[in-house]
Chains A and B, each alone.
Chain A
């Protein structure tokens, strides 16, 4: 089936309708309920003393002055946590991480001592009175150096900085094809360290009830159920006595999958003090200590024939994980799904190798699709293909069209083992080319070049892999990556549905309602969606990696269909007919041949409680734990046009067309919103954002004064379009879409800039593409202007 997109809401607002987001009203009115909005009686505040050093021995901690400050309630150190077995906790990747250090600190900004006080001001006043004596140790911030014999060792509990070595593909076959190739193109890329800079920094409120022994934690978590299980395993508190509530969350982007020391210490403090303890990171604390993205040193090679046929791909990566391996990959995939790096192309053989290193930097390569490494993969292949086209003197669009996996080859088994569900890559690229006027732009570029003006056109035709996942392949700390949906229809026909996912801005309250509405014919207004409370919602793995619609969306569809099966039986009873003779059309049941005499789903719901057929249980509800048969593979083609100022090196994105294909679309405005947001974030990646560390481990880019996220002023106008290639295995034909543009667009920006400069002898420039970098290159090539 292909879902039609309709402008005006009509009927019951099922799939394809551009209805407004149900959740927005509370956000627009300022009535959202974030962790920091919650105030409990008797609540106290936690603040951390943080390390100024990247690597140092803790010689002593003197808390005397702080202790006597009025309003200070408690001071907690690593030594105290050690006694209750909480100084270290496991990470989601089978590594361990410090909650508070006992002997040494391993990155600048690390939590060292916690202070609990009556208010935040006092907590920070006390924190500034705590004297920690450090003995600085030599740090290592470059992962390549970290892997050398002579490097200082980051971890006190390890004798190496090597985190893992991981490879995929057929090395021999790949090497053979490289030998036979006419052309081999190779290039190094550094994908810089980023922070997602969500609107709401991380935080928690832990509330331990000493009478019932129940620990409730409000937490900025994208995956509350998994956190509950991990908390229970670590603390030995029975899992039914832990309740995690993720209230409204101001953006997560993966950064809120991680379990932060603040969550753990606030819980410990609440148990100890018998009072609710609130911890909210300040922006600077958050930027400097929470999960980063990227920091990937990629070396890629691509082998091709003279005519442009791509033969093979070889990629080597050194990935920087900081002090702890705190990614959130499925446990069998140390480098996430990086093996999607053959992208949209029919490549015969490929081999990839990833080596992970510890450095004296904060941990947690999670954010922005980082654990799954799809963004890095798409960037590598799309840059390599572009360089290949330029080397061969072929048009980059034509080279892509020549090498795309053709539509008839789907389902397609990639050289690195993935089975792509569906795709039509040429259709998306051609649509983008038509929309932007590709060939006219190429002409314009030629003319401009004659006049010495710098204009570039960049393409990226990416393939995504989302919706983890088939449970036999994917698990997080052993928990299979299924997803859940529970639908309850009340006697009066109103619905409440609960999920194991947790939206952070994605619009689940609308999208899921539309899915249920599509199948059950109940108006969207009558459907309430709840997520994020582990006491009330069914167990789920959470929302990240664009997995919610592919997994929870499918679970909702399956639950709705289960309800429909029962509803048909009840309708048959009400219409005094045989079940086989009942016809169902969105929300109505009738006997074949007499559509005028019908029962609505609401009639059926009432009957389910007041007049159930003999032999059938009362009630109308269903729950599903959906195990997807495969991932979904959204794709798209982006084209970017840039102009470069030869005087200053500034780049202007003049035009940007994005054609996305995420299968059937549930709500087109939500999908467009996700794409625009992701494009804007990646625009930041390409041009503005980076976190750097000097040799001593000092951070650059740890606050919004230095870390530049784009504003509306420089953000280009995004021109969006779609093709629709439904997923054959998803119950609704839908695919995930959240991160498509994050994955796809960085290469488009860089390709455009390099395209503008190729004739000057420029092959590659690492992001962010700051004007001074461009100017330096122009200067070296003798192309700067002084006007």
Chain B
């Protein structure tokens, strides 16, 4: 609790994914991948977590990229937040992702932290799990013996828990390429700039030519043991015309799906639930405005 010096560990810096997978297979629960280190190193310094073996993947070439291919936006696991922040593709076509990165920590953390690390760490307060749920993203996962694709909805299991086996790693994040009339917004309530969310709402929305809601993704962060996909609110909205009443109702349904707990000496569960509603409403308002719909 007071220490800032990690316990001893063995350090490996493999040069390829295969080499990494071999090491993971060998050490299993006794090893941890080191990506941006912006969560792992802190836990190690505080000695809340003292893995015996550290596998640093930063020396592996080809794990950092952003490209549209085969109907997906593909992001390499080692891609830094700042790569997304300064990508024209992300800024112009993936507003939800873009905004969530802009509201992630501070420039120093963004220069180092990785997309793969963010989803694998799965801190209930992390920005990207809810974003991935709203986008219906998928993760390409490899182990020494096989490769599989896990859907976001199946990936985030609990606080700091994912569907990954101890010998697996995420190599790629896949977000379906968005339709033309798509928009999105990320609303995050923080105690202070750069802090983890008190509550966050991620909204991805596509409308048809007549202004009806065609595709909707809503997910909420920091209001449960892991990010929550507001699927009931999504269903409620499909095919409806977006107006204030409808969006308010959907925001309420989304809020009802959350299960926040009160923070000691901090925000109450009641407040968080109410904020889930307000932030979802505001996220829709901002997102829809970008495609010319005012509510």
Contacts and interface: CB of A to CB of B under 8 A. Distances in A.
Interface of A: 48, 50, 52, 109, 120-121, 124-125, 127-128, 282-285, 288, 647-650, 688, 690, 692, 694, 700-701, 708, 710-711, 713-714, 770-772, 775-776, 779, 784-787
B38 to A, nearest CB: 13
Contacts of B277: 786
B2 A128 contact: no
B265 to A, nearest CB: 5
Nearest to B106: A711
A283 B7 contact: no
Nearest to A708: B192
Interface of B: 1-8, 46-47, 106, 189, 191-195, 198, 248, 251, 264-268, 271, 274-275, 277-279, 281-282, 285
B263 to A, nearest CB: 9
Contacts of A284: 1-4, 46
A700 B277 CA distance: 28
Nearest to A50: B2
Contacts of A285: 2
A282 B274 contact: no
B282 A647 contact: yes
B282 A787 contact: yes
Given A288-B2, A708-B192, A787-B278, 10 more contacts: A50-B1, A50-B2, A120-B5, A128-B47, A648-B279, A700-B264, A700-B265, A714-B192, A772-B198, A787-B282
Nearest to A692: B265
- Looking at A52, A708, A785, which has the most chain B CB atoms within 10 Å of its CB? A708
Contacts of A109: 2
B2 A772 contact: no
B248 A711 contact: no
B282 A772 contact: no
Nearest to A119: B5
Main secondary structure of the interface of B (DSSP, over half): loop
A786 B5 contact: no
A531 to B, nearest CB: 30
Given A109-B2, A282-B2, A647-B282, A711 B194 contact: yes
A283 B4 contact: yes
B193 A711 contact: yes
A50 B2 CA distance: 8
Nearest to A694: B264
A125 B9 CA distance: 12
B193 A124 contact: no
Contacts of A770: 191, 266-267
Contacts of B264: 694, 700
A430 B288 CA distance: 47
A46 B97 CA distance: 46
Contact of B189 (A648, A688, A708): A648
A775 B6 CA distance: 41
A683 to B, nearest CB: 11
B191 A282 contact: no
B268 A772 contact: yes
Contacts of B193: 711, 713-714
Interface of A is mostly: loop
A786 B3 contact: no
A690 B263 CA distance: 14
B248 to A, nearest CB: 7
Contacts of B189: 648, 650, 771
A708 B263 CA distance: 15
A772 B265 contact: no
A125 B6 CA distance: 9
Given A648-B275, A787-B281, A787-B282, A708 B265 contact: no
The 9 closest A-B pairs by CB, nearest first: A713-B193, A772-B267, A282-B4, A647-B278, A772-B271, A285-B2, A708-B192, A692-B265, A124-B5
Contacts of B268: 772, 776
A711 to B, nearest CB: 5
Contacts of A776: 268, 271
A144 B193 CA distance: 36
Q: Which of A127, A694, A701, A787 has the most CB of B within 10 A?
A: A787
B245 to A, nearest CB: 12
Contacts of B1: 50, 52, 284
A772 B278 CA distance: 13
A413 to B, nearest CB: 43
Nearest to B279: A648
A649 to B, nearest CB: 8
A710 B2 contact: no
Contacts of A288: 2
19 contacts: A120-B5, A121-B6, A125-B8, A282-B2, A284-B4, A647-B282, A648-B189, A700-B264, A700-B265, A770-B191, A771-B267, A772-B268, A775-B274, A776-B268, A786-B251, A786-B277, A786-B281, A787-B248, A787-B281
Contacts of B274: 775, 779, 784, 786
A690 B192 CA distance: 14
Nearest to B6: A121
Nearest to A771: B189
Nearest to B275: A648
A285 B2 CA distance: 5
A132 to B, nearest CB: 14
A128 B46 CA distance: 12
Given A125-B8, A128-B47, A786-B248, A708 B195 contact: yes
A786 B47 CA distance: 42
Contacts of B5: 120-121, 124
Nearest to A713: B193
A29 to B, nearest CB: 21
A349 to B, nearest CB: 39
Contacts of A714: 192-193
Contacts of A711: 106, 192-194
Contacts of B106: 711
Given A128-B47, A285-B2, A688 B192 contact: yes
Contact of A282 (B3, B192, B279): B3
A52 B277 CA distance: 39
Nearest to A693: B265
Contacts of B194: 711, 713
Contacts of B2: 48, 50, 109, 282, 284-285, 288
Contacts of B4: 282-284
A787 B278 CA distance: 5
Contacts of A50: 1-2
Contacts of A786: 248, 251, 274, 277-278, 281
B139 to A, nearest CB: 27
B218 to A, nearest CB: 16
A52 B8 CA distance: 23
A322 B2 CA distance: 20
Contacts of B248: 786-787
Interface centre among A284, A690, A694 (most CB of B within 10 A): A284
Nearest to A120: B5
Contacts of A647: 278, 282
A127 B198 CA distance: 35
Contacts of A649: 271
Nearest to B244: A787
A376 B248 CA distance: 44
Nearest to A108: B1
B102 to A, nearest CB: 12
B126 to A, nearest CB: 14
A776 B274 CA distance: 11
B262 to A, nearest CB: 10
B3 A128 contact: yes
Nearest to A649: B271
Contacts of A128: 3, 7, 47
A109 B3 CA distance: 11
B260 to A, nearest CB: 12
Contacts of B281: 786-787
A288 B251 CA distance: 41
A129 to B, nearest CB: 11
Contacts of A713: 193-194
B165 to A, nearest CB: 30
